[in-house]
Amino acid sequence: MPAGELLYPSQQHPPPADLSVEEDEAILWNQIKGEAKRDAEAEPALASYLYSTILSHSSLERSLSFHLGNKLCSSTLLSTLLYDLFLNTFASDPCLCAAAVADLRAARTRDPACVSFSHCLLNYKGFLACQAHRVAHKLWTQSRRPLALALHSRVSDVFAVDIHPAAKIGKGILFDHATGVVIGETAVIGNNVSILHHVTLGGTGKASGDRHPKIGDGVLIGAGATILGNVKIGDGAKIGAGSVVLIDVPPRTTAVGNPARLVGGKEKPAEHEECPGESMDHTSFISEWSDYII
Amino acid sequence: MPAGELLYPSQQHPPPADLSVEEDEAILWNQIKGEAKRDAEAEPALASYLYSTILSHSSLERSLSFHLGNKLCSSTLLSTLLYDLFLNTFASDPCLCAAAVADLRAARTRDPACVSFSHCLLNYKGFLACQAHRVAHKLWTQSRRPLALALHSRVSDVFAVDIHPAAKIGKGILFDHATGVVIGETAVIGNNVSILHHVTLGGTGKASGDRHPKIGDGVLIGAGATILGNVKIGDGAKIGAGSVVLIDVPPRTTAVGNPARLVGGKEKPAEHEECPGESMDHTSFISEWSDYII
Amino acid sequence: MPAGELLYPSQQHPPPADLSVEEDEAILWNQIKGEAKRDAEAEPALASYLYSTILSHSSLERSLSFHLGNKLCSSTLLSTLLYDLFLNTFASDPCLCAAAVADLRAARTRDPACVSFSHCLLNYKGFLACQAHRVAHKLWTQSRRPLALALHSRVSDVFAVDIHPAAKIGKGILFDHATGVVIGETAVIGNNVSILHHVTLGGTGKASGDRHPKIGDGVLIGAGATILGNVKIGDGAKIGAGSVVLIDVPPRTTAVGNPARLVGGKEKPAEHEECPGESMDHTSFISEWSDYII
Amino acid sequence: MPAGELLYPSQQHPPPADLSVEEDEAILWNQIKGEAKRDAEAEPALASYLYSTILSHSSLERSLSFHLGNKLCSSTLLSTLLYDLFLNTFASDPCLCAAAVADLRAARTRDPACVSFSHCLLNYKGFLACQAHRVAHKLWTQSRRPLALALHSRVSDVFAVDIHPAAKIGKGILFDHATGVVIGETAVIGNNVSILHHVTLGGTGKASGDRHPKIGDGVLIGAGATILGNVKIGDGAKIGAGSVVLIDVPPRTTAVGNPARLVGGKEKPAEHEECPGESMDHTSFISEWSDYII
Amino acid sequence: MPAGELLYPSQQHPPPADLSVEEDEAILWNQIKGEAKRDAEAEPALASYLYSTILSHSSLERSLSFHLGNKLCSSTLLSTLLYDLFLNTFASDPCLCAAAVADLRAARTRDPACVSFSHCLLNYKGFLACQAHRVAHKLWTQSRRPLALALHSRVSDVFAVDIHPAAKIGKGILFDHATGVVIGETAVIGNNVSILHHVTLGGTGKASGDRHPKIGDGVLIGAGATILGNVKIGDGAKIGAGSVVLIDVPPRTTAVGNPARLVGGKEKPAEHEECPGESMDHTSFISEWSDYII
Amino acid sequence: MPAGELLYPSQQHPPPADLSVEEDEAILWNQIKGEAKRDAEAEPALASYLYSTILSHSSLERSLSFHLGNKLCSSTLLSTLLYDLFLNTFASDPCLCAAAVADLRAARTRDPACVSFSHCLLNYKGFLACQAHRVAHKLWTQSRRPLALALHSRVSDVFAVDIHPAAKIGKGILFDHATGVVIGETAVIGNNVSILHHVTLGGTGKASGDRHPKIGDGVLIGAGATILGNVKIGDGAKIGAGSVVLIDVPPRTTAVGNPARLVGGKEKPAEHEECPGESMDHTSFISEWSDYII
């Protein structure tokens, strides 16, 4: 049993059914405040941090705006400016906060090292980079491109996560560890996808146009995988760690290796469970693939 | 057509022929100021940033010195100290600024996501890390090694780009995305090279001496490629993403895989176009290499 | 001969025999102060930095606490708070400082680019991240988990090194370059291990429990290697750069490739020298492995 | 003719009659943006500052909130927190912004050294301290006293202007130079008052209760004047520089000296113009008072 | 009744008799933490500040060291350095903390605007400047003069309170408002003294040697009073606001005016209560002095 | 004998005769570096500060530019911008540095509490404010008024010294303690003047035009003196502390009191030594003036 379970046993990770988005967010936000309150009491050295980032705020989007503004600011892009920008953008589109809620639940459910929602909100660079990306993407779609690119650059500097503001990303996304993730301009990512660190969704050269991967729903992409070009990774596919993928991968199949091949072969690829992006099963294909090698 | 083309349609990416280095720099600097001026007018939230980093400066090297000084400073290495150091080093060697100009043109020409020169100057961590490296390298050659290493360390912290100050790097270089690039002490990189993120030009052990790769002109090195040891990558060679290269690669050939092999085989390697470092063609070898696999 | 040798010719890298831990630390600290003093005199621009980080402090742990406090602070986690935390934790457990001493000696001995102990202390993000990890780990074992995780997050942001605070790490460790290293919650690393950048010691899914690699003493793990699952890498094993390892590797053997295989084959793996983690020999297996390929 | 007249000749200092408060504020805000725009064009070194503090904002209260947040923040009271607090308080009470408008007009009309509205908005510590006081006073009336006192303390540190948050201050106030002004808890200040630097409106001991001066409309208080106790300074009175006033001063009379006496004597005090707080006539009483002395 | 009484009705301002210094400090520190806890609960916006400055610390001297370190730091004198300096100096001499306790009680007892001990600890620049002075004075007596003078300079910049580190100051001191106080090198101040803002205890020229005032126990010095030269202000004397005093003032008499004269005349000075420094009665002499004037 | 004499016995305060301005500056700069070197060796805690502000710089103007840039910067006016501005302005007019040299010698000679030149350079807010004023004045004369006023405002915030950038100030000026000094737009100050804290050279109302005092050479103005209007204070005059002066004071006479009168009377003013601004004799007139009063 992971350590965190002991700390916050009462929480329910999946949102109860039949809730409106607002109710769902309110329940989660209350849980986050409860966690932060408990941690602040147990650890006075951290209380100031928990109050400034969570407990002094009236909503998840205000907390996120504050936290991102302070994380991403620099001497030439002030925290007040960024805070304002995040606040206003979150206010302009409720989907942004709903996606953050889904991402928090994704991390809490899928990552056994995630001990609480507040842990993810405060500390997961993948979560934070993704929320900053959503705001940058919103700015991009509003033709505020220089501002979107400045934000993109700050996220790349601060979190070492480089997501082009034009990239389209679904919700329920887990960027686990996240360092070194690179996602190109015309990439598209579905819902409930899990992407490990050092993953590249890259282009194929200097030609402009649609040139980056399209990732289906429920896909799991292992650490260090490189997917290049306008290829399609089907719903529920699994890409092994360190793989280099240059062509399409069918739904619910597993591709591994450099260059990647389908487990089970191209003709008879082995199908697996529906949603590896949620089950996070990285290695069940080991027996077929690598065991005989070492 | 990439978005950026619409924004700055009038620019000429390649420098007009028959210009002196000074004229070339002046033309580029004017274009950068024009871009920043337009963006500042369109986006008041960004205007302060654009004025402080670009529009208040009288030359590219002053702008760069300011921007790098503010990006790389810390509470123990003040921005004023770094600014001074950059200004003085740029002033001491005009080649540094000429190389920056060539790098800006390289990014603008080769990277379809680069919408303007100012975009690169402000936001590309690969560009900024490379310019900071050139200054650190200059300090290294002047036997100011502790200072060069302190600068090296700041670049590695801030940009996650780790280039040893002794490494020799040509001009017209594109470090695309750049996160995770590691280049060792005795590495040498030619002109017009393009290097993607997570690329390692590494050593071979604890023996000192000449132990890092030598990269020819016009080489393209794909994301995540690892090249180890004092090996020679010939002019115009192409290294596939995720490849692990431990021995020499002949000019104008393509090496892919882990361990890397030559496309077309060792005996009859397939030659390709002259300068993949400029054409940025990452994946034209797919049909030969990986298509049959998945 | 590497450049650094000329600068500090008199030092002895291995600690003289028959010294107590305190004497050993005192000797090393004196050497570090000597190096810093020399550098401050030679380079006035760096003197302020050297005085604030090294020369104004009375011991290695105070210097480290100050340096880490200033590197890892943010606008919401103040340097004074972190400084206090580091000071108190170092004071509570002398093993932490002894491990730092062993790590400094490891870097100085194994990395030919490491020109002095002070170079490592000031500039090596791998060294600094490891010391911060040891403190976070101590907090973790004291059930101060939210604080440990906050520190973990700062290290991941600032150094792009992501070591879960529960991971157990021995001493005499060299994290060389270090960018992108990810080490999971139940990973264990022995003594005298060398780990290059972009190395992942990852888990195998969303199941909690013991799910990360166990690395023996004296192991060398090359750049970009990915080791997944609760596998055992035997003492003195060597993992090639870019390898993806999913199952156990016997002691004193070499595993390379994606998926990794043993050099010499599974039945007759080639044994090598005792401690590649110390010899840092990355590439002696090239002739067997990759030469015939390109 | 003062220098400023040449710079901004077109402005009208008094607000045109028959304007609503909102129209008046809009006209002033437009004028401020016009001034800032002109200055930014003439002085690129200042443009970044002018954009961040004025030109990037959509209203006077947003600009003020930003400017005060950045001026008054500290490492333990973050600019984002203060910015939020100012924004929300200005939004909660339109009188706060109307008073700021009246104060700006007061400075521009009465102080010949005030060359533009933006000059006052950006640079006058008396203006800025007064606006911060109004917000602190609002918090005080909402029983948010610890927060009001924290703000009070920051204003006293940053501007050396110490106004207790309980003090009641009218509008159209000019605190000229302002350094060293001290105003106690139960002080009340009317409208259209001008107060020079080093002025004290102080109490009379450790008894609590109503113990500070009551200043009528249109009063002028010269530099260094000290008024102590629950005394009444009548409408249109004038207090000479350096005076020490311990008892009531009748309307439209002048008190000078230490201890203060009425010019013309207690029985026949010389009456003067209606509103010295607006005319700023400090010294017309010289011929009666001090000429014969030196 | 002052506002603060309602907030913290249970406190006892004077320390209970028969307590050791340590017990007294512990009681006060507990009361301060209680106040801060209550305020943090009532005002989430301030909670982070209260936790970082008070509630996360284990003792008054640690809290003070943290708060002063953060208030007085600059980009060239880091908060960590100052924090260390304060911590070590407080630890070296328990009298420093005992004097801080006495000063806190003095402010709480004498100043009706002081609503709580934590209010004074956090917000009173006079209190904070005085504690920083005590540390600077300690350094001065240890012949660490350049450091003492650097601290002196920071206090003068940040609080506009200029106390030479050689000046000797008793305990139970209230510097009320404090802005503009200047106290020279050879000044001596007794116990239980109250000094208002803008008070000068100055020298008499460029001759060195003992050249500043000596202030007895229980003295009250009104706002803006200037006392120059090696003169003696007797125990329990009272100096009126705005007075200029150039010669000795006998015990328990009142001097007022510029130049100062004794109330009641030089031959028959009016004696008053024992300790105006504690009673803070600024103006009871009004009827004798100034009433007849206006 | 003042403390400082023992510390730096070898220095010569007055510049040796027959030196060029450059030689004089070079001698002083060497002495300052010698002092800082000695202090850095004796006090490691201060060494970082001394290296960054003095020892790492090649000239007095570079050191001053760095120190002022760091003291006066804010989150919206960056240190790099101010550093640049100071550097360029000092470079444009050698008189600025010559005046700084004269001011340093003035402080060292006249103020017995000034223990070294470096003490003044680092710590005297009056000295620093005056040098920043000279730069602001230069900008003012170049019609860069908004920038001059922004600098003026920063000096008023940081040092509580408010000198209008149009005011003309000679050289060899000592602003002793300096807090609260206010000098208006059309004020003129001669050479070798000493001005204590809280001194006002103020205007006379809202009329523009020439409305501030003209201070002759060698004048001494005591603490808290207020001089208002376009009055002339003759060469070598002395203004007593706390005086309020509204009309001309003849050369070499002393004015005291509120309102000020001439010592010796208007008809037979007592003449005194030539240059009280240099002798700093504040109180020799006591016997005539105030002794008989108390």
Per DSSP, the residues of C155-182 read: HHHHHS-EE-TT-EE-SS-EEES-TT-E
F221 touches F215 (CB < 8 A): yes
Report, in this order, helix, strand and coil percent for chain E, each rounded to 5. 45, 10, 45
Question: DSSP readout, F139-195?
Answer: HHHTT-HHHHHHHHHHHHHHHS-EE-TT-EE-SS-EEES-TT-EE-TT-EE-SS-EE
By C-alpha distance, which of C256, E72, D278 is closest to C264? Answer: C256
CA distance E293 to chain D (A): 5
The verdict on C81 touching E (C-beta cutoff 8 Å) is yes
Maximum CA extent, chain B? 60
Question: DSSP readout, F103-138?
Answer: HHHHHHHH-TT---HHHHHHH-HHHHHHHHHHHHHH
- Output the pLDDT for position E270: 81
Nearest to D55 among B47, B55, B56 (CB): B47
- Mean per-residue pLDDT for A217-223? 97
A279 touches C207 (CB < 8 A): no
* Terminal Cα distance for chain E, rounded: 31
CB contact under 8 Å between B290 and A242, yes or no, is: no
Interface test with A, best of D55, D63, D84, D147 (most A CBs within 10 A): D84
What pLDDT, in 10s, does the model give residues F74-97?
999 999 999 999 999 999 999 999
Tokens 């011929």 — which residue?
A: D287
Name the residue in chain F with its Cα closest to that of B62.
Answer: F84
Q: Which chains are adjacent to chain D, needing at least 3 Cβ pairs under 8 Å?
A: A, B, C, E, F
Nearest to F179 among E156, E184, E202 (CB): E156
Positions in chain E whose pLDDT score sits under 50? 1-13, 291-293
3-class SS of residue A245: strand
The verdict on D223 touching F (C-beta cutoff 8 Å) is yes
CB contact under 8 Å between E48 and A52, yes or no, is: yes
CB contact under 8 Å between E204 and F125, yes or no, is: no
CB contact under 8 Å between C223 and B182, yes or no, is: yes
- Name the token pair of B136: 């650190």
* Residues of chain D numbered 177-206 and touching chain E (CB < 8 Å): 179-180, 182, 184-185, 198, 200, 202-206
Q: Which chains are adjacent to chain C, needing at least 3 Cβ pairs under 8 Å?
A: A, B, D, E, F
Q: Is the pLDDT of residue F263 over 80?
A: yes
Say which CATH class D20-161 falls into.
mainly alpha
D256 touches D289 (CB < 8 A): yes
CB contact under 8 Å between A260 and B293, yes or no, is: yes
Residues of chain F contacting A76 with CB distance shorter than 8 Å? 78
What does the DSSP 8-state code read for residue B77? S
Residues of chain B contacting E76 with CB distance shorter than 8 Å? 78
What pLDDT, in 10s, does the model give residues D240-285?
999 999 999 999 999 999 999 998 887 888 887 778 888 887 666 6
The CATH fold of domain F167-293? UDP N-Acetylglucosamine Acyltransferase; domain 1 (2.160.10)
Give the pairing type, strands F226-228 and F244-245. parallel
Which helix (H) or strand (E) is C267 found in, with range? Answer: none
A to D CB pairs, distance under 8 Å: 27
Give the pairing type, strands A182-183 and A162-163. parallel
What pLDDT, in 10s, does the model give residues C71-124?
999 999 999 999 999 999 999 999 999 999 999 999 999 999 999 999 999 999
Residues of chain E contacting A51 with CB distance shorter than 8 Å? 40, 44, 47-48, 51
- List beta partners, residue D182: D162, D200
Which amino acid belongs to residue F219? V
Task: Indicate the pLDDT class of residue F120, thresholds 50, 70 and 90.
Answer: very high
By C-alpha distance, which of F179, F207, F201, F204 is closest to F189? Answer: F201
Q: Is the pLDDT of residue D233 over 50?
A: yes
Residues of chain F contacting C55 with CB distance shorter than 8 Å? 44, 47
CA distance E3 to chain D (A): 9
Query: How many Cβ atoms from other residues are within 10 Å of residue F26's Cβ?
Result: 15
The verdict on B81 touching E (C-beta cutoff 8 Å) is no
Give B106-159 as a 3 state SS string: HHHHHCCCCCCHHHHHHHCHHHHHHHHHHHHHHHHHCCCHHHHHHHHHHHHHHH
Q: Is the pLDDT of residue F290 over 60?
A: no
Name the residue in chain A with its Cα closest to that of C228.
Answer: A283
A to B CB pairs, distance under 8 Å: 169
Residues of chain A contacting D52 with CB distance shorter than 8 Å? 78, 81
- Mean per-residue pLDDT for D30-49? 96
Nearest to B78 among F52, F81, F84 (CB): F52
Spatial strand order of the sheet with D261-262 comes to D174-176, D194-196, D220-221, D238-239, D254-256, D261-262
- Output the pLDDT for position B102: 97
- Output the pLDDT for position C286: 61
The verdict on F208 touching A (C-beta cutoff 8 Å) is no
- Name the token pair of C172: 């005499």
Q: With left for phi above 0 and alpha for psi between -120 and 50, is residue E257 left, alpha or beta?
A: left
The verdict on E81 touching B (C-beta cutoff 8 Å) is no
- Output the pLDDT for position E12: 43
Q: Is the pLDDT of residue B18 over 90?
A: no
Q: Is the pLDDT of residue B235 over 60?
A: yes
Task: Indicate the pLDDT class of residue B2, thresholds 50, 70 and 90.
Answer: very low
Sign of the Cα pseudo-torsion (F109, F115, F120, F124, in order): negative
- Output the pLDDT for position F4: 30
Residues of chain D contacting B51 with CB distance shorter than 8 Å? 40, 44, 47-48, 51
Name the residue in chain F with its Cα closest to that of A74.
Answer: F75
- Mean per-residue pLDDT for A117-145? 98
How far apart CA C167 and CA C181 sit, in angstroms, is 13
Residues of chain C contacting E76 with CB distance shorter than 8 Å? 48
How far apart CA E238 and CA E250 sit, in angstroms, is 10
The verdict on B83 touching F (C-beta cutoff 8 Å) is yes
- Mean per-residue pLDDT for A131-160? 98
- Output the pLDDT for position D158: 98
Percent of chain A's residues with pLDDT above 70: 89
- Output the pLDDT for position D292: 46
CB contact under 8 Å between C79 and E78, yes or no, is: yes
Name the residue in chain A with its Cα closest to that of F78.
Answer: A75
CB contact under 8 Å between A78 and F75, yes or no, is: yes
- Mean per-residue pLDDT for A110-136? 97
- Output the pLDDT for position E272: 78
Query: How many Cβ atoms from other residues are within 10 Å of residue A250's Cβ?
Result: 18
CB contact under 8 Å between A80 and D79, yes or no, is: yes
Q: Give me the residue spans of the domains in chain C.
A: 20-161, 167-293
* Terminal Cα distance for chain D, rounded: 31
Task: Indicate the pLDDT class of residue A16, thresholds 50, 70 and 90.
Answer: low
For chain A, the average pLDDT equals 90
How far apart CA A148 and CA A163 sit, in angstroms, is 11
CB contact under 8 Å between E47 and A51, yes or no, is: yes
Residue B69 or residue E6, greater confidence = B69
Name the residue in chain B with its Cα closest to that of E74.
Answer: B75
Q: Is the pLDDT of residue D8 over 60?
A: no
CA distance A75 to chain C (A): 12
Q: Is the pLDDT of residue C38 over 70?
A: yes
Q: Which chains are adjacent to chain E, needing at least 3 Cβ pairs under 8 Å?
A: A, B, C, D, F
The verdict on C147 touching A (C-beta cutoff 8 Å) is yes
- Mean per-residue pLDDT for A251-269? 90
CA distance D147 to chain A (A): 13
Task: Indicate the pLDDT class of residue C14, thresholds 50, 70 and 90.
Answer: low
- Output the pLDDT for position D204: 80
Nearest to F197 among E77, E182, E206 (CB): E182
- Output the pLDDT for position A11: 42
- Mean per-residue pLDDT for C63-73? 98
Task: Indicate the pLDDT class of residue F292, thresholds 50, 70 and 90.
Answer: very low
Phi and psi angles of residue C51, each rounded to the nearest 5 degrees, phi first: -70, -45
What does the DSSP 8-state code read for residue A244? E
